[in-house]
Amino acid sequence: MDFSFTAEDEAFRDELRAWLDINLTKFLESWDTDDDPGGGQVSGFDRTQERRKDWQRRLNEGRWAAINWPKEWNGREATPVQNALYAEEMARVRAPGIYNTNGIWQIGPMIIKWGTPEQQQRWLPCILNAEEHWCQGFSEPEAGSDLANMRTMAILDGDHYVVNGQKTWISSAHLARWGLFLLRSDPTAFDRGAKHEGITAFIIDMETPGIECRPIRDITGDTMLNEVWFTDAEVPIDCRLGGEGEGWQVAMSTLGHERVGTAGLSITMASDLKSMISAARAVNPDALDDPELRERIARAFTDIELTRLLNYRALTKILKGQPNWPEVPLAKLQWSKISQTLAELAVDLLGAAGVLGKGGPDAIDGGTWTRNYSWQRYTSIGAGATEIQKNIIAKKAIKLPRK
């Protein structure tokens, strides 16, 4: 590991810290009260969404919402080091979530790279200002890890495409006004043995007739995931992003933004570990004298530190212009392993109180730990399934022999 922050990087971090000191404090003061600063009678889920909108708007006002976007779009054209510093600072202060995470980190950059000036004017402001919610529709029942296997059809018919098929696992599609979808525009690609071809990217108005979102209830009881069904839905040709058949390139063009995306996670995980120890001290102090639990805490602490250093090594390689693997897939594996380890550790540390779920009057920390116990299973699938990461490491890093 070999890097030091440049004066620009340090200035970037100091400016962000100073901004957060003032603006996060103000934000928390205005929202973490019983009053509703939104003016209306919003509560529960709606209030969470309003809170996310407000936070994203404040970030955007400070030019801190879309740091990777060009300056003309209120971004900062941040370097990989600045991305890592941003993630770490946000994790350090436990910054609230934003309204359009997908829109800011993935979809916006795709529109900036592939969109016409008209498309950019039409969609970028509403992503940035949190005016309308966005979703990302790639996965299908037979196309997840093997994404190129997608079969939802978009067939050109005059000035529009006719879309038929089914997407699945689409986060917050039922809340979204717009979605970036990858669709199969050339059905002959399979016969030609070229399934990465014949895929086109579209920006779709989720209110289009013929689109139906069917919520999926997940293991925690929430319904943020959806199936999205298309039945003869008509998508105007000017909603195509990039050329016909260029969908694969459009989708892959922003994956680079994820390369240091785990940088802040080790800070969040370290902070979670501290919080669960504090919770145990309050409700089940004997747990902290248990030698087995003490060893698990020490191991988790060490694993988190290792992940932090792994991220720094990946960053060093990026700065030297070297490929940043196997550190990136290894960090992903570490993240899913530690998230699940922590989730299990938390309920064991809390003892009997660990089963008190969200919504109950005695739930510890609002039931977060109990919810996490089941929710964190997703980390074996999200951002690249565990087995796929292991395949990548085996093939590219260890170069294991293949049949």
What string of DSSP letters covers 12-77?
A: HHHHHHHHHHHHHHHHHHHHSSSS-TTSS---HHHHHHHHHHHHHHHHHHTT-S-TTS-GGGT---
- Does the footprint of ligand FAD cover residue 105 (CB under 6 A)? no
x-or-dash string of contact with ligand FAD, 204-243, rule CB under 6 A: ---------------------x------------------
Catalytic residue among 15, 234, 258, 344: 258
- Does the footprint of ligand FAD cover residue 391 (CB under 6 A)? yes
Nearest CB to ligand FAD, comparing residues 175 and 189 = 175
Nearest CB to ligand FAD, comparing residues 285 and 382 = 382
Q: How far is CA 388 from CA 138, 148, 307, 392, 394, in A?
A: 17, 15, 19, 6, 10
What string of DSSP letters covers 244-261?
A: TT-HHHHHHTTGGGGTTT
Only one of the segments 203-211, 287-295, 318-326, 375-383 lies at the binding site for ligand FAD (rule: CB under 6 A); that segment is 375-383
- Does the footprint of ligand FAD cover residue 95 (CB under 6 A)? no
Only one of the segments 192-200, 300-308, 361-369, 382-390 lies at the binding site for ligand FAD (rule: CB under 6 A); that segment is 382-390
- Does the footprint of ligand FAD cover residue 138 (CB under 6 A)? yes
Only one of the segments 139-147, 155-163, 204-212, 335-343 lies at the binding site for ligand FAD (rule: CB under 6 A); that segment is 139-147
Q: Is 142 a residue of the active site? A: no
Residue among 4, 5, 97 at smallest CA distance from 52: 97
Burial class (CB in 10 A: 0-12, 13-18, 19+), 9: middle
Across-strand partners of 156? 161
Only one of the segments 40-48, 69-77, 208-216, 385-393 lies at the binding site for ligand FAD (rule: CB under 6 A); that segment is 385-393
Q: Which residues does 6 contact at the CB level (< 8 Å), separation at least 6?
A: 81
Binding site for ligand FAD (CB under 6 A): 135-139, 144-145, 169-171, 225, 378, 381-382, 385-388, 391
Residues acting as catalytic residues = 258
